[in-house]
Structure 1
């Protein structure tokens, strides 16, 4: 018997992943819960494996389900691109994209450049912002797509996780800490969730922190760190052998996730297509680099 992957079943599978369950997926797809369940069960029967765990407290997807999800996103992105390219109505509209400074490099630029060449009637308006501001603008409907960082425990079921990373307290070897007085701290501006966590946790036990520099630029923070002006929080990908990683006196920071998040009302085909391309290519690039 030939196995066929139906587009409707793959759409249901991706909606379950994005929204965290069958009930929400059914609402998104304008189907009954039983209809969505039937699509998944038929897909499982055809493939001969379980895709959903269906056990309380267990991950939503089995290992086979996670593997199929990766294929499904690529298949649906190509499906939407083919329909829009060959159909009578070309892809048109506007996408408002927010991204953090660390994701504004060549990889994303290449994705956006290719996307706009394929879809010349789509205007992509991009802003470089701090993660908290991206979150706020997504909730207010001022952005359609956000590429940002969050603490791992704040990842939503609908987020596309590109990568995860650890966060560390670091300083220059030239900086000698006097733990009898507040430790000098280098931070991004008020829209940085690193700063919020550090001010809450770092001040909760002696010797505490005193902010000596705020700067919206990662390059500015790095320059001040190298000069020995203070300590800061930094992801493991930004660490160099010249930095000292601190284990005391502050508690270990939580892990962070780099994610793609879509606004509550931004679920058009053009948004889905761009999100799938970003998640597929940036996720692969970051995981390869971290390996």
Structure 2
């Protein structure tokens, strides 16, 4: 059936609907959008009248959205994405510049990669040079001014108030079920490399308990450490996303490691319109999704 001539999908009403989903209700969406609750409700009502169907469930203890509302959200995100992309790409004052960006292996396999791809399409005049390194290496480069933006993993207690948190994770002690571990002897340890902050923490805590670690494998790739664990070479500290059902989690055998967070750290000295545009793009996605996914 063809849509009626009077039917229209208002862009700002669609944006409001997405905000309701992102923030979990009309009240929080209104706070985020800087609107009154009645204004938010009115925008939703306009969509419902235009489409002649209910989009929100208004019964207590019911899901937030009706089936029609869930279907519209899928289209709304696509419409808003192409709408905003068109506005940016056709801007009369296109941004130009370059950004030196450092990121860890984990963040290359996240929603962030898709954001960077879209950013370079929206801002063809901005050149982004990305380097993939270990977190400690990136932080040294950041301090030295070699990169303007560092996307790194840090312990949660080291997160700064100015950091943008992408996602959080827990660390686990793991080994292969086939590895017989003798805690009275030196424990074979698999490390990313000598600049791995997991390794530095493990070596420090080894002084606080009877276990002494002996590094038997150094590898810059998470895939290499995972392969070493599965082969039974030794014990490793891995973030939750790398722990598989084939591994044995042995957290009780050692001191519990701190939780970690992947964050964006931006240099205050080198802030320019290009850098601000990229940071803004990432912040907007975080506000929409609440937290970025690791793929």
Scaled by the length of structure 1, the TM-score of the pair is: 0.67
Separation in structure 2 between the aligned mates of residue 136 and residue 216 of structure 1, nearest angstrom:
17
Which residue of the other structure, out of 206, 210, 226, is the alignment partner of 1:202?
206
Partner of 1:114: 118
Separation in structure 2 between the aligned mates of residue 236 and residue 265 of structure 1, nearest angstrom:
35
Q: Which consecutive residues of structure 2, in runs of 5 or more, have no partner in the other structure?
A: 1-30, 37-82
- For residue 253 of structure 2, give the secondary structure of its aligned residue in structure 1: coil
Partner of 1:257: 261
- For residue 278 of structure 1, give the secondary structure of its aligned residue in structure 2: helix
- For residue 86 of structure 1, give the secondary structure of its aligned residue in structure 2: coil
Separation in structure 2 between the aligned mates of residue 279 and residue 148 of structure 1, nearest angstrom:
16
Equivalent residues in 2 for 1:15-164, closer than 5 Å: 86-87=91-92, 89-105=93-109, 107-164=111-168
Work out whether 1:193 is the aligned partner of 2:184. no
Contact in 2 for aligned 1:260/1:279 (Cα 8 Å): no
Contact in 1 for aligned 2:167/2:293 (Cα 8 Å): no
Contact in 2 for aligned 1:167/1:233 (Cα 8 Å): yes
Separation in structure 2 between the aligned mates of residue 104 and residue 287 of structure 1, nearest angstrom:
16
Scaled by the length of structure 2, the TM-score of the pair is: 0.66
Deviations for 1:54-98, whole angstroms, at most 9, x for unmatched residues?
xxxxxxxxxxxxxxxxxxxxxxxx99x9689534x4211110010
Q: Which consecutive residues of structure 1, in runs of 5 or more, have no partner in the other structure?
A: 1-42, 49-77
Equivalent residues in 2 for 1:165-244, closer than 5 Å: 165-244=169-248
Contact in 2 for aligned 1:171/1:244 (Cα 8 Å): yes
How far off is 1:202 after superposition? 2.4
Deviations for 1:20-42, whole angstroms, at most 9, x for unmatched residues?
xxxxxxxxxxxxxxxxxxxxxxx
Partner of 1:268: 272
Separation in structure 1 between the aligned mates of residue 155 and residue 187 of structure 2, nearest angstrom:
24
Contact in 2 for aligned 1:146/1:260 (Cα 8 Å): yes
Q: Give the aligned length.
A: 217
- Structure 1 window deviating more from structure 2 (142-151 vs 242-251): it is 242-251
Identify if the C-alpha distance between structure 1 residues 279 and 223 changes in structure 2 by more than 3 Å, giving closer, same or farther: farther
Contact in 2 for aligned 1:163/1:286 (Cα 8 Å): no
Contact in 1 for aligned 2:111/2:293 (Cα 8 Å): no
Partner of 2:65: none
Identify if the C-alpha distance between structure 1 residues 215 and 286 changes in structure 2 by more than 3 Å, giving closer, same or farther: farther
Partner of 2:11: none
Contact in 2 for aligned 1:162/1:286 (Cα 8 Å): no
CA RMSD of aligned residues (A): 2.9
